[in-house]
């Protein structure tokens, strides 16, 4: 089908939303609650657009395209409506951007700047005074900054399947909370941190990132998680050689923007003084550093000695679950074809 966006005709597929067609054609429609990979939701109303013959403005993230639609994405009416939405959000926001960890990476901050929302409304209303929860080692929860976009709730529920958080109360007192409004560690939260990655403002921030650098000071380095053989894709957000925080690569396989607690928060081991940097050979009860050649020659000579004395079945190998499939294949090949035994297993088999 064909639709018109800001005076230009574009091709669209049935089932696409206005937002999807606009983004596919490089037209920016701002969003707060929209998340790729989740069904349309329509909570924040920042993506409003003007559709010809529709009396009300339409949420672009939920509205499916129809043949011949004529849509304005940046008319004065649209911009005024978006500005009003942001003014409402800002009117009960703490406005502590100078000390907020999320400064420079906050969608609300960007929208307020873009739409010229410089001050809270004159008829400023109440503000929340929720206590900040930093009682767990991973996530700081400051719901005074929450815009109730529901992204954290939806990733926890619809992607992770954990359902650790939901809305409680009504109206102005609506709040994201665990059951009985307790701490995350007293809930069924598994600390995967998907909620942190989904939060567009500073309501949920990784605790270890505090004070580690502003967004514009950090360099994003893509890498593979070292914890298991799945090979999840990570972004390390680095200041110099220090990791400020870790996020999942949104469009990277196999994890497609998801991580577990270890991959997202368990990176401190890389700074440990106890890490082995060279092979060690034990002599007279004590370890000494050795080169890789020396260490591998020693292992090979010991294998040969055992095989000549007791046969190849005197040796067994257990490969590691952190290894990728190709490494596990080579491990069994080494044992079967080189050493000559079928004594080979994998620690994750059971």
H helix intervals, 92-185? 107-114, 151-154
Helix (H) or strand (E) holding 287: strand 286-289
Minimum CB distance to ligand FES smaller for 34 or for 138: 34
Query: Shortest distance, CB of residue 200 to ligand FES, whole angstroms?
Result: 10
Minimum CB distance to ligand FES smaller for 89 or for 140: 89
Helix (H) or strand (E) holding 124: none
* Selection from 210, 270, 261 nearest residue 241 by Cα: 270
Query: Shortest distance, CB of residue 82 to ligand FES, whole angstroms?
Result: 11
The residue written with tokens 């920042």 in the block is 46
CA 340 to CA 342: how far, in whole Å?
Answer: 7
Diameter over CA atoms, the chain: 90
Task: Dig out the tokens for 147 from the structure.
Answer: 């815009």
Query: Shortest distance, CB of residue 31 to ligand FES, whole angstroms?
Result: 4
Query: Shortest distance, CB of residue 97 to ligand FES, whole angstroms?
Result: 22
* C-alpha distance from residue 308 to each of 296, 312, 315, 332 (Å): 18, 8, 11, 21
Which residues, listed in sequence order, are joined to residue 318 by a DSSP beta bridge?
345
Residue 48 near residue 57, CB atoms below 8 Å: yes
Minimum CB distance to ligand FES smaller for 33 or for 177: 33
**Residues contributing to the site for ligand FES (CB under 6 A):** 31-34, 42-47, 59, 61
Minimum CB distance to ligand FES smaller for 23 or for 346: 23
* Selection from 235, 240, 230 nearest residue 267 by Cα: 235
Query: Shortest distance, CB of residue 60 to ligand FES, whole angstroms?
Result: 6
Minimum CB distance to ligand FES smaller for 69 or for 225: 69
How does strand 317-319 pair with strand 58-59? Answer: unpaired
Minimum CB distance to ligand FES smaller for 3 or for 47: 47
Minimum CB distance to ligand FES smaller for 107 or for 187: 107
Collapsed DSSP state (helix, strand, coil) of residue 321: coil
Minimum CB distance to ligand FES smaller for 62 or for 185: 62
Query: Shortest distance, CB of residue 148 to ligand FES, whole angstroms?
Result: 11
CA 50 to CA 71: how far, in whole Å?
Answer: 6
Query: Shortest distance, CB of residue 146 to ligand FES, whole angstroms?
Result: 15
- 180 phi, psi to nearest 5 deg: 60, 20
CA 215 to CA 244: how far, in whole Å?
Answer: 10
Q: To the nearest 5 percent, what fractions of the chain are helix, strand and coil?
A: 30, 20, 50
Query: Shortest distance, CB of residue 257 to ligand FES, whole angstroms?
Result: 18
């Amino acid at each position: 089908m064909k639709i018109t966006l800001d005076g230009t005709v574009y091709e669209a597929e049935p089932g696409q939303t206005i937002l999807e067609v606009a983004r596919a054609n490089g037209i920016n429609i701002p969003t707060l609650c929209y998340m790729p990979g989740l069904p349309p939701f329509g909570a924040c109303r920042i993506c409003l657009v003007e559709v010809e013959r529709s009396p009300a403005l339409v949420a672009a993230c939920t509205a499916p395209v129809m043949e011949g639609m004529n849509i304005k994405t940046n008319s004065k009416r649209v911009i005024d409506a978006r500005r009003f939405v942001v003014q409402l959000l800002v009117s009960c926001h703490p406005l502590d951007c100078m000390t907020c960890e999320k400064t420079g990476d906050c969608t609300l901050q960007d929208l307020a700047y873009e739409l010229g929302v410089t001050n809270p409304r004159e008829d400023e209303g109440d503000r929340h005074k929720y206590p900040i929860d930093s009682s767990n080692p991973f996530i700081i929860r400051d719901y005074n900054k929450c815009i109730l976009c529901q992204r954290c709730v939806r990733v926890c529920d619809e992607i992770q399947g954990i359902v650790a958080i939901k809305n409680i109360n009504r109206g102005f007192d609506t709040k994201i909370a665990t059951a009985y409004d307790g701490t995350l560690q007293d809930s069924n939260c598994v600390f995967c941190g998907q909620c942190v990655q989904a939060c567009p403002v500073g309501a949920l921030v990784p605790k270890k990132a505090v004070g580690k650098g502003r967004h514009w000071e950090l360099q994003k380095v893509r890498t593979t998680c070292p914890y298991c053989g799945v090979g999840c894709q990570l972004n390390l957000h680095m200041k110099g050689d220090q990791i400020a925080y870790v996020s999942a690569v949104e469009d990277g396989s196999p994890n497609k923007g998801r991580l577990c607690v270890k991959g997202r928060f368990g990176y401190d081991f890389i700074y440990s003084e106890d890490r082995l940097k060279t092979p060690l050979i034990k002599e007279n009860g004590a370890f000494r550093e050795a080169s890789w050649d020396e260490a591998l020659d020693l292992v090979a000579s010991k294998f040969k000695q055992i095989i000549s004395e007791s046969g190849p079945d005197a040796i067994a190998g257990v490969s590691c679950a952190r290894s990728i499939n190709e490494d596990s294949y080579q491990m069994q090949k080494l044992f079967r074809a080189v050493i000559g035994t079928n004594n080979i297993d994998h620690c994750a088999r059971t």
